[in-house]
Amino acid sequence: MRAIHITETGGPDVLNIAEIDRPSPGAGEILIEVAAAGVNFIDTYQRGGLYPMELPFTPGLECAGTVVEAGDGVDGFAIGDRVAASAGGGSYAEFRTVSVETAIPVPDAVELETAAAVLLQGMTAHYLAVDTYPLAAGDHCLVHAAAGGTGRLLVQMAKMAGATVWATVGTEEKAELARSAGADHAILYREVDFADEIRRISGEEKLLDVVYDGVGAAVFDASLGLLRKRGLMATFGNASGPVDPISPLALSAGGSLFLTRPTLFDYIATREELLARAGAVFAMIADGSLDVRIDTTYPLEAAADAHRHLEERRSTGKILLTP
């Protein structure tokens, strides 16, 4: 089968297409024919070596497709079932195996490409808005990179909860996308200092209940300074580089602040939690309350271009690969 085969870590050019053996499902596994694979920042971290991986490997946590083979002891899945996965790796390929413990049924009302586009980012947005800081009417939140895949979904979920949403974006086009998702204030961070602009518009020195930060180093310190007493900083990504170490005394000086560095996999730690969170996201799509924007779909052999597109912050939604 055709797959992306990484033999050394580095830039996008290490994403080479190769013919490798088609995997066979082991006990408790199913084999999926991949319809689409999602491209995520975690893939770039693994490709570049920030998150160490055993070489060689095929990247890609996220995919959706159809079951074509089942291993011994598989219960609950049959040939032809539509499924999605967000763990285990190997999605940048024509076929991949998935443990039945991490396989997620895709309802008929959700297209496979949409399922591949929304699973990781949709569940991330869901745990941030529902569990990390449970948003409610009257809350003020800041969403960085609000026109990106996770950001735009998070803006929509924050508005469903009744929060006021402050959003940072890089261009006027992205500002329109953030507003279309429900953002109350879209701030072009390349044109103004976002923290000063939030203070100017709100008239408040420290306004925010929570900051949802998938950008990292470039925005962390200024964001921390916008939090009200006992506000929460949720830094969940490193798009501009990892955040420098911080002294606990800085949190005290800022007003007894809370800081968390959450990861999705701690919020889907059990199968029940995984199915409930994925099911909530799919239900929002099915009833039309959550709009999933697919930015660009690349063929598998153009995986390097897909990574450049993501890392250069050009995307205004999800990037997919199709075998």
How much of the chain exceeds pLDDT 90, in percent? 89
- The answer to whether 187 and 166 are in contact (CB under 8 A) is yes
Is 212 domain-assigned? yes
pLDDT in tens, 72-131: 999 999 999 999 999 889 999 999 999 999 999 999 999 999 999 999 999 999 999 999
Is 128 domain-assigned? no
Query: Is the same domain home to 143 and 201?
Result: yes
Query: Is the same domain home to 92 and 158?
Result: no
Query: Is the same domain home to 51 and 6?
Result: yes
Query: Is the same domain home to 156 and 232?
Result: yes
Domain boundary among 217, 236, 261: 261
Burial class (CB in 10 A: 0-12, 13-18, 19+), 4: buried
Residues in the chain: 323
pLDDT in tens, 28-44: 999 999 999 999 988 99
Domain boundary among 222, 246, 261: 261
Query: Is the same domain home to 238 and 285?
Result: no
Q: Is the pTM value of this prediction over 0.85?
A: yes
CATH number for the domain including 210?
3.40.50.720
3-state secondary structure of 16: strand
Query: Is the same domain home to 49 and 110?
Result: yes
CA distance 215 to 304: 21
Domain boundary among 213, 230, 261: 261
Is 129 domain-assigned? no
Is 224 domain-assigned? yes
Is 312 domain-assigned? yes
Amino acid at 178: A
CA distance 85 to 16: 23
State the average pLDDT over residues 203-211: 96
CATH number for the domain including 28?
3.90.180.10
CA distance 179 to 149: 14
pLDDT grade for 307, boundaries at 50, 70 and 90: very high
Amino acid at 89: G
For 93, the token pair is 């390929």
Is 272 domain-assigned? yes
Is 127 domain-assigned? no
Query: Is the same domain home to 177 and 80?
Result: no
Burial class (CB in 10 A: 0-12, 13-18, 19+), 228: middle
pLDDT in tens, 47-71: 999 899 999 999 999 999 999 999 9
pLDDT in tens, 117-171: 999 999 999 999 999 999 999 999 999 999 988 999 999 999 999 999 999 999 9
Query: Is the same domain home to 302 and 249?
Result: no
Query: Is the same domain home to 149 and 87?
Result: no
Query: Is the same domain home to 145 and 46?
Result: no
Reading phi first (left if > 0) and then psi (alpha if -120 to 50, else beta), residue 134 is in beta
Query: Is the same domain home to 150 and 224?
Result: yes
* pLDDT of res. 277: 98
Domain containing residue 98: 2-119+268-322
* pLDDT of res. 316: 77
Query: Is the same domain home to 110 and 144?
Result: no
Q: How many domains does one find in the chain?
A: 2
